Structure 1
Amino acid sequence: MPAVKKEPLLPGWLLLMGALTALGPLAIDLYLPAFPSIAQGLHATEGQVERTLASYLFGLALAQMIYGPMADRYGRKLPLIGGLVIFTIASVVCTLTNDIEHLTAWRIVQALGGAAGMVIPRAVIRDNYDTREASKALSLLILIMGVTPILGPVLGGQVLLFVGWRGVFGLMAAGGALLLLAALLTMRETLPPEKVTPLRVSIIAQNYWSLMHDRQFMCFSLAGAFGSAGLFTYISGTPRVLMGIYGVDPQHFGLIFALGAASLILASQASARLLDRYSLEGLLKSAQVSIVLTTLAGLALTLLDWLTLPLLMLCLMGFMASQGFVNPNAAALALARQGRRLGVASALMGTMQMLCGALAGLAISHWQSHTAIPLTGILAFCAFVSWLFGRIAMRAT
């Protein structure tokens, strides 16, 4: 009897899904060190440049609502290809813009393409795996995505040093083009024909309506969404705090920023290993307690004026480590019972994450302070709300 060939722990299709999922965050992390240069080059304020990030997040949020129904009707591959084409073209145009208003507008278009990489991979994973294995796969995706926040600002800082901020957007365009080629050549369709959902407004509306009335789905999704809002607060707020308040050099910013990303990676892999011994719900509950205590400690140290750079990084690393447990387990629990509407459910969950992230980004861009209070205050708020929705979801379960 021939031996059954086992699928590797990290199959090629999952690596591609990880790279696709990292595309949207890449367009965030890569240009963070370029904020001061963009402001100077386009004669814009620091707040205006920060709002290009918030506009990108809003674009990601809204576009996911479109990709979800399309993925349930036309399959996973075709909408993804279209999104990658849009992302690549918009990235090229961003390199050519001459004012902050046009950059903000094209960042939205860029997000409309990048959103495909946020929706499709989650649906593909649930096409292939059950809930527990999906959580492990999502943890592996976080490992791959974690390379982006580590390498993104570091790489962006070096590109900025040699070719300026326009070269940073050129690198985004190159990444989009490479992923487009990889998807065209290697990706197979995973949506079973019997699960195809007609693309009718009434059916789409009914699916979204029923999802919004599914207490378990909404609460687990919101627990993850407010955790993600804290993550985007970290992304949006740390450039100003580290470079503006603590005087970190732009070329060194990426290395310090990477400490948080490394914490996220290590914790997500620990979460995947612990799933063999503990339940998803148990890991999520413990992580949400940890995230609240960590962020409250950071806020208290800020208010007492005791927050040094090492203490700030310890609090931020604790927050990111907790997120490594919250994100994959909350997502897997939210999608556990969605069956035929995985694309729509993935889209709605992603939309909530991006909307919460965009609102957090807007809040921190408008909250001007010479201290780290905007960063630590919004992180503490997001952590508490994430914990609250997690508790509600556990009781619904």
Structure 2
Amino acid sequence: MALFTPKKLPNATLLVIIITLMGAFAPMSIDLYLPAFLQIQEGLGTTDSEVKKTLTLFLVGLCIGMIFYGPLSDKYGRRNIILIGATTYSLTSIASTFIANIEGLQVLRLVQAIGAGACMVVGRAVIRDVFKGKQVAVMMSVVQVIMMIAPLLAPLVGVMLLYVFDSWRALFWALTFFGSMAFFLTFFFLPETYHKEERPDITLRETFYNYFLILKDRRSLGAMLGCALPSGITFAYVTGSSYLYQAKYGISELHFSILFGLNIVGVIVSAFLNIICLRRFNVITLVIFGLGWMSLAGIVMLVIGDHSLIGFFISTFLLMCVSGFIGNNIVSQIIELNYHRAGAAMALNSSTQFFVGAIASLIVTHHQEMLVPVMGISGILAVIAYLILYQPWREVRKTL
């Protein structure tokens, strides 16, 4: 990997493509194969809960990859970490196409996710290395908007591949191509963006101690829980919705992907509305609005979500489409609270989201009937944790 290193950065368009690929590892790896859950179950002669476990273990792997590879990239540089992550991801994707039992697929998904986590967290760090000032915010916004398309298109692409090749294994060949593209574009076009002379003289032990300091601060913990607990909604839905829609309500793979995509459209719309509202309202107001809406939607989910297809879809839409007012706004608060430990804070926040998602996914994996309660309670707990620990009225008082 060290034998060849590009001398200069690629043009802006190609750089955006590379960074976007890094960020899209999770939605592509998760949403692409959701329509194939029943096919995998039948093809490997296993149970629904064992297939769902492949998703739970993937989320655990993402959490591990992000929490470890962030500090490693600070110490050893970005480029090689991305190449190692993309190689791990691609090789495990290839192996998944030949696997003959569900236990092997579960192990491979765990390792695959560790590679994906490396690419995701380091890709964001590249933005901080290359751009300065307002350019960082602009690039983050551009990449985020493009990334929103991935979870919208991935289920549709998955359905298309299932129709064309009539095999769930084709989905992992598609992931192999995705991982290989990330590897080759990085190898041939992306130089090291974090040079040795710029790296802080800090040990990995000190870096992990920063995680402890962040969690020790009550307000930082409250902000992270406010940001992470809604992940319980997302990943409980991702884990259990395929079975619910296709097995319980009998809709087709195509119709499932359309319903799934409609929720993503709601997320995209709320993200754009948040950008518009930031011109008039401050961050704390929009966070409170978003979490308040989410808690009410959580109550709606608990009341009507388990009674009909329409009730579940409406309450899910209400829960998920408000996320645009929560995620990025709370992230900005986390950065402000941990300005001198921003890199560690971002890695910890991302891994916490996938950790909460893994717990929610694990519950639904073993108890499908808990899908609605987990989604509803996650939304309610998010606002409770944020209000009790972060105490947003402190910021309101400062502005008066």
1:329 maps to what in 2? 329
Contact 1:233 1:357 in 2 (8 A): yes
CA deviations over 1:78-105 (Å, ceiling 9, x no partner) = 3122211111111111111100000000
Task: Please identify, of 12-21 and 152-161, the stretch whose mean Cα deviation from structure 2 is larger.
Answer: 12-21
Contact 1:57 1:357 in 2 (8 A): yes
The DSSP-based 3-state class of the residue aligned with 1:219 is helix
Contact 2:268 2:324 in 1 (8 A): yes
Matches of 1:203 and 1:180, distance apart in 2: 30
Output the aligned Cα RMSD. 2.3
Amino acid at match of 1:245: K
Change (3 A) 1:332 1:171: same
2:279 maps to what in 1? 276
Matches of 1:380 and 1:140, distance apart in 2: 31
1:103 maps to what in 2? 105
Deviation at 1:327, TM superposition (A): 1.5
Correspondence 1:213 to 2:209: no
Mapping of 1:297-376 within 5 angstroms?
Answer: 297-302=300-305, 305=307, 308-339=308-339, 341-369=341-369, 374-376=370-372
Mapping of 1:1-397 within 5 angstroms?
Answer: 13-127=15-129, 128=131, 138-163=140-165, 164-187=167-190, 189-191=192-194, 196-198=199-201, 200-302=203-305, 305=307, 308-339=308-339, 341-369=341-369, 374-391=370-387, 392-393=389-390, 394-395=392-393
Amino acid at match of 1:343: G
Task: Please identify, of 309-318 and 374-383, the stretch whose mean Cα deviation from structure 2 is larger.
Answer: 309-318
Amino acid at match of 2:225: L
Matches of 1:77 and 1:338, distance apart in 2: 26
Change (3 A) 1:175 1:201: closer
The DSSP-based 3-state class of the residue aligned with 1:102 is helix
- Structure 2: segments with no counterpart, 5+ residues: 1-11, 396-400
Contact 1:24 1:117 in 2 (8 A): no
Matches of 1:310 and 1:188, distance apart in 2: 50
TM-score (ref. length: structure 1): 0.88
1:6 maps to what in 2? none
Contact 1:70 1:199 in 2 (8 A): no
Task: Please identify, of 121-130 and 78-87, the stretch whose mean Cα deviation from structure 2 is larger.
Answer: 121-130
Give the fraction of aligned pairs with identical amino acids, expressed as a percent.
Answer: 27
- Structure 1: segments with no counterpart, 5+ residues: 1-9
Contact 1:242 1:253 in 2 (8 A): yes
Deviation at 1:278, TM superposition (A): 2.0
Contact 2:246 2:252 in 1 (8 A): yes
The DSSP-based 3-state class of the residue aligned with 2:246 is helix
Contact 2:85 2:117 in 1 (8 A): yes
TM-score (ref. length: structure 2): 0.88
Deviation at 1:34, TM superposition (A): 0.7
Contact 2:305 2:315 in 1 (8 A): no
Deviation at 1:206, TM superposition (A): 2.4
The DSSP-based 3-state class of the residue aligned with 2:168 is helix
Deviation at 1:245, TM superposition (A): 1.8
Change (3 A) 1:17 1:274: farther
Contact 1:72 1:341 in 2 (8 A): no
Matches of 1:286 and 1:186, distance apart in 2: 43
Amino acid at match of 2:72: M
